[in-house]
Structure 1
Amino acid sequence: MKRNRPSRRIKQTPDTLRLIQLATSLSESSSRIEDDFWEKRLTAFVTHLIASGAEETLMAALDPLYRETSPAYGALVSTIEACVETRHAETSDGLDALMIAIPVLSWSRFPIPAGPISTPQLDAIRVHLQAHVLAFGAKLSLCDRLYSPDQIPQTYIETAHLADKVTQAAKHGCDVKIDPKKMAETMSFLSDSRYLIGAVAAPQGTALFRWQEDDGDYTESARQWILQGSDAIRPLLPACALELQPVGAYHAAVLDADRASRPWSLRSAVAFLQTVLNILPSDLVAVIARFHDDQTEEYRVGLALRQNQTVVHGVVWPLLETEDNNNELSAEIESVLQEAGITQVIQLNQRFPIEYCEDCGTPLYPTPEGEPVHAELPEEQAENTQRHLH
């Protein structure tokens, strides 16, 4: 999933120091047998902390490792995520279970739905998952809700609680009913992600996914799921353009969706402006600039009319994981814009402080002259479109 950078320094405890020591030892290992030694100890300790609800201890260990750009940061994050989303069989004849996510990228001029999924709709989705994604005989559970990014669990402990529910349900081959009263409100964006959440279970040591079987192939499995599964997902997102993403372990799938949502948002912005303003992509100028504050780095792309240089829309390209500003990222953004049909792309060299509109809270975007401004659609189109792209 999107791994948020620790935002504050938390007091370290003996448990924190123990986590750091184990993660550091694992990252310094030079052999598989030593990897196994440290992984077992780190996994057991992380599992204990998760069961104890020790979110602050986990974050307090990640914080200094992140700031030091230590290889141990990746080792610890991967272990925490594995412990959160995985439930191993308690006996040799039991079932292993894994929490999964099914991401969908979507954009629309209308509000993008998030909410309950009916039993017939879940059954239709299940058919395609069992045909193209799951191993033969694997059991599946799905939550009866389409989640927005605001509604998926926001902490490791919250994610572990949901994992307990869906993995237990998977072992019994049933779905999970979600209480709508406990769900956060969904912010409205023109371009956003949606998630189905569930779990898959199979006998200990056997395949969970189709591509783990002897005649399986991940690329073909993902291709067939996206091709066939889109028809089952589309009724959940009426009046929306959508792009189904591969199914995977929860954290990895959500992180991949975060990464894929960035070029999707740029392409969606161009398509939206084509539709609303009745223009060609070549009628737009794109301006790419870096924005920062003490703890955040991101790119912002201002989309201006070529005719009068007025910024009519903008997209934020956030940095994920341990990404840093570099020429490769800005070149990737430019490439996506050019593929979308924009022929004039301006790269600004200076960095800007992260600022938002004082009245409505939306981000400010760069003009071709290098000034952050509020993006404004022409008045006649703005009356019918008050939301912005995620």
Structure 2
Amino acid sequence: MRRSSKAGSHKLSADSQRLATFAQAIVLASSRLEERGWESQLDALLQKLLRGDHQETIDAALDQLFGSDANAYDALMEAAEAASESAVIEHDDLLFDALLLAVPILAWTRFSIPSGPIPADMLMTLSAHLNAHLPAPNVKFAMAPTLFAIDQLPRSHVETWTVTQRLAQAALKGTVLRTPADVPETAPFLADTRYLLAVVVVPAGEPLLRWQATMQLSDRDDALTQWQAQAMPNIARLLPGCGIELLLPEAYYVACREGDRQIRPASIRAAVHFLIHTLAVDARDLQASIGSFGEDAGTGRADEYRIGFSVGDTSDVVYGVVWPLYGEEDEEDLSELATLPLQRLAAGEIPRPTPLEEITTLLREAGVVRVIRHADRFPMEFCDDCNAPLFPDPDADLVHAEMPEDIPQGATHFH
């Protein structure tokens, strides 16, 4: 996932320059063997920097590449994520591979979505369910005793590396981590993801996950089905009053991105449900204004959509939803109809909907019939006072979303 450049014009340190050079060399490699050689050097340097808590060195290289070499940026980001969510650990004179997993839980409610410590008996039950179906046989396994909100997860590669190391040691030694004492409070969104974190550890080179051991990809689907069936009653106890969907546990960064993607439709449905009940209006009375937003509003790609909700014919935005984009999720990049071969069209193959089309469909399915899609791309503007995102109103002005003053205050944050 890309981020904006912050320090691309600054002179790089020697290690930052080496990171950038290795990433560029991987992209330019003419053989898999050469590529693996560069990857080995990049991985070794990343491990040294992660152990030394030098996140700023990694960030500087990423910032430099962001604006100058998109392919090398992606290569370095992928390598940094892999180095922080996995590890080779020596224990009792043996080498072990460790992989940090995230378990996404989609939740939506009109009230609050809990997070925080997991009771010991619940942790044991959830660990047993997950361990029974996800890891390969004889894998050592450990789960963090916390239900995390997205803003309580590790924020940097160094923080992720630290969690991976601690959980891996807990798995090898058969101990349980303590719940962190300084977990920050989380904003009360109407729809949000919660995460369990776990690690799997195996002797170096052995399969980590069940479908690797069986070489049956169908075991992925079976693992998800079993996890959903067995864990749902326990997760429901952790998240009372919430609608819940459990996703497949996967490697940390992939699972987090998938959780972010999958919560987006629930965010729109939860917003409409909240507004019609809180404001005592019909969905047909709502008006949705959709705008695309990017760091470079003039020429750059969209980074997210923002949807501003108004009531009746007023231009006041009472609520807003942010729909982040990932990879190449821009309607200008996803317009497959123009490039889809005629024979595939004749066979009835339907192009994948663009994010804008998906948002519009979700709004109409929720009963919102008045939808304005602004053609201009907006800058990524936020409130100077509270840093909340600004949303488009029907007149294409960017405004702060404000509930009417006579409405009781509840969950008014934006996803």
Q: What's the TM-score once normalised by structure 1's chain length? A: 0.89
* Equivalences for residues 194-213 of structure 1 within 5 A: 194-213=194-213
| Paired residues, number | 387
Secondary structure of 1:259's counterpart equals: helix
8 Å contact kept, 1:11–1:60: no
Q: Does 1:371 align with 2:397?
A: yes
Give the equivalent residue in structure 2 for 1:12: 12
* Equivalences for residues 263-342 of structure 1 within 5 A: 263-292=265-294, 297-306=303-312, 311-320=317-326, 326=332, 328-342=354-368
Q: Distance in 2 between matches of 1:98 and 1:3?
A: 23
Identify which of 345, 349, 359 aligns with 2:371. 345
Q: Distance in 1 between matches of 2:253 and 2:180?
A: 22
The structure-2 alpha-carbon separation of the partners of 1:277 and 1:211, relative to structure 1 and needing over 3 Å to count, comes to farther
What RMSD in Å do the two structures reach over aligned CA positions?
A: 2.7
Gaps of 5+ in 2: 336-353
* Equivalences for residues 131-142 of structure 1 within 5 A: 131-142=132-143
How much has 1:292 moved relative to structure 2? 4.4
Between 1:31-40 and 1:159-168, the stretch displaced more is 31-40
Give the equivalent residue in structure 1 for 2:261: 259
Between 1:85-94 and 1:194-203, the stretch displaced more is 85-94
Q: Distance in 1 between matches of 2:227 and 2:195?
A: 15
Give the equivalent residue in structure 1 for 2:186: 186
How much has 1:39 moved relative to structure 2? 1.5
The structure-2 alpha-carbon separation of the partners of 1:276 and 1:35, relative to structure 1 and needing over 3 Å to count, comes to same
> One-letter code of the match for 2:146?
R
User: Residues 98-129 of structure 1, C-alpha deviation per residue, up to 9 Å, x if partnerless?
Assistant: 11111222222222211110111111211221
Secondary structure of 1:100's counterpart equals: strand
Q: Distance in 2 between matches of 1:107 and 1:195?
A: 14
8 Å contact kept, 1:97–1:171: no
> One-letter code of the match for 1:15?
D
Percent of paired sites with the same residue: 38
* Equivalences for residues 24-39 of structure 1 within 5 A: 24-39=24-39
User: Residues 58-91 of structure 1, C-alpha deviation per residue, up to 9 Å, x if partnerless?
Assistant: 1111112111242111111111111111122548
> One-letter code of the match for 1:273?
L
How much has 1:261 moved relative to structure 2? 2.6
The structure-2 alpha-carbon separation of the partners of 1:358 and 1:239, relative to structure 1 and needing over 3 Å to count, comes to same
Between 1:28-37 and 1:89-98, the stretch displaced more is 89-98
The structure-2 alpha-carbon separation of the partners of 1:7 and 1:168, relative to structure 1 and needing over 3 Å to count, comes to same
The structure-2 alpha-carbon separation of the partners of 1:358 and 1:204, relative to structure 1 and needing over 3 Å to count, comes to closer
Q: What's the TM-score once normalised by structure 2's chain length? A: 0.84
How much has 1:17 moved relative to structure 2? 1.6
How much has 1:313 moved relative to structure 2? 1.9
Q: Does 1:228 align with 2:234?
A: no
Q: Distance in 2 between matches of 1:359 and 1:76?
A: 35
Q: Distance in 2 between matches of 1:220 and 1:305?
A: 45
> One-letter code of the match for 1:363?
P
The structure-2 alpha-carbon separation of the partners of 1:358 and 1:94, relative to structure 1 and needing over 3 Å to count, comes to closer
* Equivalences for residues 120-135 of structure 1 within 5 A: 120-135=121-136
Gaps of 5+ in 1: none
8 Å contact kept, 1:95–1:171: no
8 Å contact kept, 2:104–2:249: yes
How much has 1:359 moved relative to structure 2? 6.2
Between 1:287-296 and 1:265-274, the stretch displaced more is 287-296
Q: Distance in 1 between matches of 2:391 and 2:280?
A: 22
8 Å contact kept, 1:101–1:247: yes
> One-letter code of the match for 1:303?
F
The structure-2 alpha-carbon separation of the partners of 1:283 and 1:160, relative to structure 1 and needing over 3 Å to count, comes to same
The structure-2 alpha-carbon separation of the partners of 1:143 and 1:70, relative to structure 1 and needing over 3 Å to count, comes to same
8 Å contact kept, 2:268–2:321: yes
Secondary structure of 2:287's counterpart equals: strand
How much has 1:294 moved relative to structure 2? 5.9
How much has 1:247 moved relative to structure 2? 0.6
Q: Distance in 1 between matches of 2:51 and 2:289?
A: 47
Secondary structure of 1:153's counterpart equals: coil
How much has 1:362 moved relative to structure 2? 3.5
8 Å contact kept, 2:47–2:83: yes
8 Å contact kept, 2:152–2:186: yes
User: Residues 3-55 of structure 1, C-alpha deviation per residue, up to 9 Å, x if partnerless?
Assistant: 54343334302211211111111112232222222211111111112112221
User: Residues 312-335 of structure 1, C-alpha deviation per residue, up to 9 Å, x if partnerless?
Assistant: 321012344676673733233223
How much has 1:174 moved relative to structure 2? 3.2
Secondary structure of 1:286's counterpart equals: strand
Between 1:295-304 and 1:22-31, the stretch displaced more is 295-304
How much has 1:159 moved relative to structure 2? 1.5
How much has 1:200 moved relative to structure 2? 1.0
8 Å contact kept, 1:143–1:197: yes
Q: Distance in 2 between matches of 1:16 and 1:29?
A: 20
* Equivalences for residues 41-190 of structure 1 within 5 A: 41-90=41-90, 93-180=94-181, 182-190=182-190
> One-letter code of the match for 1:139?
K
Give the equivalent residue in structure 1 for 2:412: 387
Q: Distance in 2 between matches of 1:107 and 1:65?
A: 38
The structure-2 alpha-carbon separation of the partners of 1:6 and 1:356, relative to structure 1 and needing over 3 Å to count, comes to closer
